[in-house]
Amino acid sequence: MKKTISLLLAILMLALCFAGCETNKEPDDSDTPEVSYTYIVSGESSEYTIVLDDGATSVSKTLAGDLAEHLKELSGVKITRITDDTSKYPAVAKEIIIGNTDREESKSLLSEISEVGWRIRYTGSKLVISASNDYMLSLAYKALTETYLIKDEGGVKIDDKLDVSYSGVNDMVSFFDGEGKFRYKVIFSAEATSDERSAASNLANKLKGIFGLKSVSVGMDIGADDPEAYEILVGETTRQASKDLYADIGMLEMKSVVSGNKIVIGAGVENAIGDAVNFFAANVGDLYKGTYDGKYMINKDYVGLNTTVEYLLGIPVIEVGTFVGSDDCGDNTYVYVWDDIEEADVTAYKSALSEAGMTLSETYTMGNNTHALYIGETANAYVSYISSEKTVRVFFEKTGTLYPSSEKGSFETVSGYVPTLYMLDVDSQYGSGEDGGANGGMSYILKVADGSFIIIDGGYNTDAESDRILNFLKENTPEGEKPVVSAWIITHQHGDHYGALLNMTKRHLNEFTVKAFYYNMPSEGHTITSASLVNTIVTAMDKWTGAVRYSKLHSGMRFFVADAQFDVIFTHEDLYPVANTNVNDTSMVLRVTHGGKRMMFLADIEDRASEVIEKYLTAEEMKSDIVQFAHHGYEGATQKVYDMVAAATVLWPVNTYSFQTNNYGQNIFERMINGSWRSVNSYIAKEATYVKTVYCAEEAHWGAVEIQLPTYTPRENRLPDYEDLYNRVKAEAEESGSNG
């Protein structure tokens, strides 16, 4: 027979128990009298019914199903399963009773289990299997099916005097002392990280909830290591049991073991300790529900082992260099970072990925940096090597994640096509906050060869904003045709960048087509990012029928949208394992090559992102013809980044007149270029010799700033007449009653 225990039961038997034993011990069935048998299945039929408790645990239900399947495999006969609810299923003479039911035979047998264990008895015409808890029940099932159910030519039979039992109490440690007091204290290191301290506190709270305790003691590993003390050790402590566990744990593993009077919980990487605690507590909680005798114990030989992330099971990691740390990048992606890595080490690791059954899908080169994407059965791996730093970042993500192709696809060029970039105005005059007002937002549109468009961000969540974009798309699409947006790129999670998407989803969903969304959003906890915010944005994207979501654009990747080439320069992942990042520094930075021009879109990056770019990339890679000024002219980017880009044309996504005008009492653009927020603003606007032209977004107020890329040359005047812009828009606003 090749019957295997279900996944749930297998996990249960490998994990912890409140009462357990060594499964290779023989039950106490010595001095058995002469055997006579009763057939559970006779020939091709059976009079028996499998009975379990109406409120049975998942393990009991699984065992009942497994037993029915086992008997079917042996005999071909399917036995009906019912519950002990007699109002629905009256008791019958011949039953197989599993677990803690309301049947008197079940109650009687459970009362005879004086210690932690299990018992199987054939009494009258009923086969009763009882145990002190679910784990013991699983062992009873194993003994029943492997030893006591016998198949012969007459069917499936059992000893009609069968009465066997097992006690595993000597293999156990109780969670409670003889006076009913919880005996364990949760311990973390005096030098614990915030993750470890949080995990220890979380475990104490979970144990209180599971056992109904008023309190669980929590403390540090100060003082001598007392082997007799009952302690649950969380993370790397000074206790020898912790040292032993961490000497043997894999990088992608989380592990919990019993070592004498200690329960030790650890994780291969620091930030996974919370997951390790949750895994342990979840098993405790599940088995608590399946304990029938109130003896809450754990096996002295317990080992609970799991991967930090289930789908990374069997995926190799780098075994050389210096491991820096890891982090959750959101959307089923985890990054692991190593320093002191040579190119030969990266080559060897790629070979290891191939040997593990992963397939090389894409390779990319950006300057001296190399990047490779491997696709596996359960997980993908993106290997990013920064040669100047000898740093490798491996991004592991769940299989099914979609990536754009690095190859230019086929397309038909429309008649009269000219590659064009447009900078649109944004709705910063009315209202306040991220749903309009303030003075931010970005709205850039590219026209590509097949007549479709690329939108970069879009601006605020206001009707005026989305109407402006929709009207632009329609005006630049042949009459009678539906506009097509081949790519909508969202650079980061600020409402003045993704807001227009939400509004257009609500109001203009069927008025144009979106083929794909491109983005990379950080996980909850690293910024103000929240799960609900991510869900809000993704939910809006999913309403566009047929639109593909490319949610994990990693640095180094290249993709095409018709004849426009995109190279990913930076994402929030390049900051990890740094936490608590300014949302602006999670912006995705893109270099676009289109119409013979290079354009650098910096979104809202500030210092942290700038410093990474300065370290990881060369001026040659950053050099562009056009640059979008970062963070609208507030605290965006560093002078070194702009010097690396050295663009002759600067797109400044800010207005002269906005909701903020009353706050500052002056022209906002003028305030920025005079360095009121940062000296680099004045440097780029007035001093940098490579800058020839600065376009202010306000110039699009009476129509988009249009740059026909193949023939574009910077205009003669470096700065627009921003005083005239300000006065004209101010007069218009005052006439319309704006609150600016």
Q: What is the mean pLDDT of residues 698-711?
A: 88
Q: How many CB atoms lie under 10 A from the CB of residue 723?
A: 12
392 lies in the same domain as 430:
no
- Per-residue model confidence (pLDDT) at position 523: 65
Q: Considering the domain boundaries, does residue 255 fall inside one?
A: yes
Q: What is the mean pLDDT of residues 695-706?
A: 86
240 sits in the region (left: phi over 0; alpha: psi -120 to 50; else beta) called: alpha
pLDDT in tens, 666-683: 888 999 999 888 899 999
- Three-state SS annotation for 195-252: HHHHHHHHHHHHHHHHHCCCCCCEEECCCCCCCCCCEEEECCCCCHHHHHHHCCCCCC
- Three-state SS annotation for 653-680: CCCCCCCCHHHHCCCHHHHHHCCCCCHH
- Per-residue model confidence (pLDDT) at position 303: 81
Give the Å distances, CA to CA, from 73 to 82, 126, 128, 325, 474.
Answer: 20, 21, 21, 49, 66
**Residue 401 · residue 380 · CB < 8 Å:** yes
pLDDT in tens, 46-77: 999 999 999 888 888 999 999 999 999 999 99
Tokens of 540: 């809006």
148 lies in the same domain as 196:
no
Q: Is the pLDDT of residue 480 over 60?
A: yes
Q: What is the mean pLDDT of residues 539-548?
A: 96
Q: Considering the domain boundaries, does residue 636 fall inside one?
A: yes
- Per-residue model confidence (pLDDT) at position 277: 93
Q: Considering the domain boundaries, does residue 1 fall inside one?
A: no
**Residue 267 · residue 253 · CB < 8 Å:** yes
pLDDT in tens, 242-295: 999 998 887 778 889 999 999 999 998 777 898 899 989 987 876 666 676 667
Domain end: 308, 337, 354, which one? 308
- Per-residue model confidence (pLDDT) at position 455: 98
220 lies in the same domain as 246:
yes
270 lies in the same domain as 345:
no
Top-confidence residue, 193 or 689: 689
CATH of the domain at 64: 3.30.379.10
Model confidence, pTM: 0.72
Lowest mean pLDDT among 26-30, 91-95, 109-113, 193-197: 26-30
62 lies in the same domain as 205:
no
192 lies in the same domain as 280:
yes
The C-alpha atoms of residue 311 and residue 309 are separated, in whole angstroms, by: 6
Q: Considering the domain boundaries, does residue 410 fall inside one?
A: no
Q: Considering the domain boundaries, does residue 407 fall inside one?
A: no
Structural domain for 154, as ranges: 7-172
Q: Considering the domain boundaries, does residue 403 fall inside one?
A: no
CATH of the domain at 394: 3.30.160
Q: Tokens 């390049």 belong to which residue? A: 574
CATH of the domain at 631: 3.60.15.10
Q: Is the pLDDT of residue 2 over 60?
A: no
The C-alpha atoms of residue 593 and residue 624 are separated, in whole angstroms, by: 9
Domain end: 153, 172, 191, which one? 172
CB neighbour class for 611 (10 Å; exposed up to 12, middle 13-18, buried from 19):
middle
CA-based torsion, 291, 293, 294, 295: positive or negative: negative
136 lies in the same domain as 179:
no
352 lies in the same domain as 208:
no
Q: DSSP of 69-134, one letter per residue?
A: HHHHHHHSPPPPEEES-TTTS---SSEEEESS-SSHHHHHHHHT--SSEEEEEEETTEEEEEESBH
- Is cis: bond before 577, omega within 30 of 0? yes
127 lies in the same domain as 238:
no
Under the banding of pLDDT at 50, 70 and 90, the label for residue 196 is very high
Q: Considering the domain boundaries, does residue 26 fall inside one?
A: yes
Under the banding of pLDDT at 50, 70 and 90, the label for residue 24 is very low
Q: Considering the domain boundaries, does residue 411 fall inside one?
A: no
Length of the chain as a residue count: 740
Tokens of 582: 């300014």
For residue 537, what is the enclosing H or E element?
helix 531-542
Q: How many CB atoms lie under 10 A from the CB of residue 151?
A: 14
136 lies in the same domain as 203:
no
72 lies in the same domain as 167:
yes
The total domain count for the chain is 4
Domain end: 308, 335, 365, which one? 308
CA 656 to chain centre: 41
Q: Over the chain, what is the mean pLDDT?
A: 88
163 lies in the same domain as 184:
no
Q: Is the pLDDT of residue 723 over 80?
A: yes
